[in-house]
Every structure is written in structure tokens, then in C-alpha cells.
Amino acid sequence: MFGSKTGLVYLVPLLLVVAAGQAQNGAWLAHVDSLWQRGAFEEALALLNNGLQHNPGAADLLWRRSRVRVELGMRAPEKGQQRALYRQALADAQAAIAADSLNSRAYVAAAIAAGRLALVSSPRDKVAYARQIRGYIDRALALNPNDDIAYHVRGRWHYEVATLSFFERTLVRVIYGGLPDASLEAAAADFRRALALRERIVHHLELGRTLLRLGDREGAIRELEQALALPPVEPNDSTYQEDARRLLARIR
């Protein structure tokens, strides 16, 4: 059919309609991303909720809603509210993975949501989430080895697991038989890989914190100073810089 002139007459307008729809969808997603960038999380959530009503299985909408819910959870005043939002965020990311198992951003979103849940959970649940996080982030990096956020999340995983308390380590060993190897050195290496891909305030902050735990005071100071030297461009950058400022004041 499409080898004929008649077929081309019908095909060309169809392709133009598809291309126009893709461009419009891309512009809409870019607008949602700009709202997230500006910290307009409630507005972004409303748009994503509306979009998902019309297309409930859209992975690119689901992982974005997960990201927004994590931000709202970070700003919730009570742990109960935080946990509820983080659970919703994890459910969204898991739905995105189910909808598109090759979407690396969905796995990163799942790892971030599980990581936030771990921070507000009991020691038993914390170690359970630690296992989930590593699985999600390894899959994300297998799909996209150039994602700086994925390396950052893996670095945080190494840091948190390497600094588990004796009680938490005992839980891991007794209940789960252990976790994959983790170390502060591996955390520092992942934060450096993240910085090699893209310079972000949070990468410098976490590398500085890790170097301090490793006993490299001068290296930590350099990273924290760099975190303060960069202009804030993302929603939590000012908070990260305040963390860097406090840590720097403590170690100088």
C-alpha cells in the first residue's frame, strides 16, 4: 500500500500528526519539569494527576509523579505524612517500571523513594529497603551508565550501608544473610563518577561528607567549599548549601 502514490498521500499527513503530537507531549513534559525545577511541586502534581487520568500507564508521568511526591514528603512536617508520601512515590515508580521495564529513570525514582522510606522507617524496614535500593539502582545503571543521579544514589547506598549501626548490621545478617559489600571508599568513587558526568551541589556535599568519614579533612573542605561556590539551580540546592556550610564550620 505505502509503495504507491496513493498510500503516500495518506501516510505523510499521518506522520505529521504523530510528530506534532510527540512535540506537544515533549513540551508539556518540559513544562512539568520546569515546575519541579522551580519548586512548584503542588502545581506539578496537579498536572501529572490530570495527565495520568487520561493515560494511567504512562511511565514518564509515573516516575515524574514519584519524584514530586518525594519532594513533598521531604517538606511534610510529620514522619507519618512523610512515610505516606514516600510510599505513594515508591508505588508510582514501581508502576512506571511495570509499564516500561527499560525506563532507567523509573528505577532511579524507585531507588530514591525507597531510600527516603528507609530514613523514616524502623531498623528492620530500613535494611529491607536497603536491599531494594541496590537492586533498583544496579538496574538503572545497566540501562543508562551515564546517569549522574544513579551514581549519586548508589554512593548514598554505600555510605548508609557502610555506616549501619551494630544492631542494624546484626538484623541484616540474621534476617537477610547480609547485604552486598559496601564501603565508604566505594561511596566516594561513586560521588566522583557522578561529578565527572555533571557537577551538582549535592554531589560535592556528599563527597565532602564521605571524605570526612574517611579521615581526609582537607579533601572534605575542598568539596564543601565547591558546594558553596556553585549557584543554586535545583529545588534543594539552598538546603544542601546550608548543610555544607554547617559541616564546614564544624570541621574548620
- 3-state class of 2 per DSSP? coil
pTM of the model: 0.86
Split into its structural domains, the chain has a count of 1
Q: How far apart are CA 158 and CA 183, in angstroms?
A: 6
Contacts of 99 (CB under 8 A, 6+ apart): 57, 58, 59, 62, 106
Indicate whether 248 belongs to any domain.
Answer: yes
Q: What is the mean pLDDT of residues 123-151?
A: 92
Q: How far apart are CA 89 and CA 119, in angstroms?
A: 14
Tell me the pLDDT tens digit for each residue of 42-94: 999 999 999 999 999 999 999 999 999 999 999 999 999 999 999 999 999 99
Q: What is the CATH number of the domain that holds 205?
A: 1.20.58
Indicate whether 56 belongs to any domain.
Answer: no
Indicate whether 13 belongs to any domain.
Answer: no
What's residue 175's pLDDT?
62
**What's the full length of the chain, in residues?**
252
Angle between helices 104-119 and 59-75 (to 10 degrees): 20
Q: How far apart are CA 81 and CA 50, in angstroms?
A: 23
Q: How far apart are CA 196 and CA 233, in angstroms?
A: 18
What's residue 25's pLDDT?
79
Confidence of residue 19 (pLDDT cuts 50, 70, 90): very low
Tell me the pLDDT tens digit for each residue of 86-123: 999 999 999 999 999 999 999 999 999 999 999 998 87
Q: Which domain holds residue 249?
A: 199-252
Indicate whether 251 belongs to any domain.
Answer: yes
Indicate whether 17 belongs to any domain.
Answer: no
Indicate whether 55 belongs to any domain.
Answer: no
CB 115 within 8 A of CB 157: yes
Indicate whether 235 belongs to any domain.
Answer: yes
Tell me the pLDDT tens digit for each residue of 150-205: 999 999 999 988 888 777 777 667 666 666 778 999 999 999 999 999 999 999 99
In this structure, what C-alpha cell is assigned to residue 33? 519539569
Indicate whether 67 belongs to any domain.
Answer: no
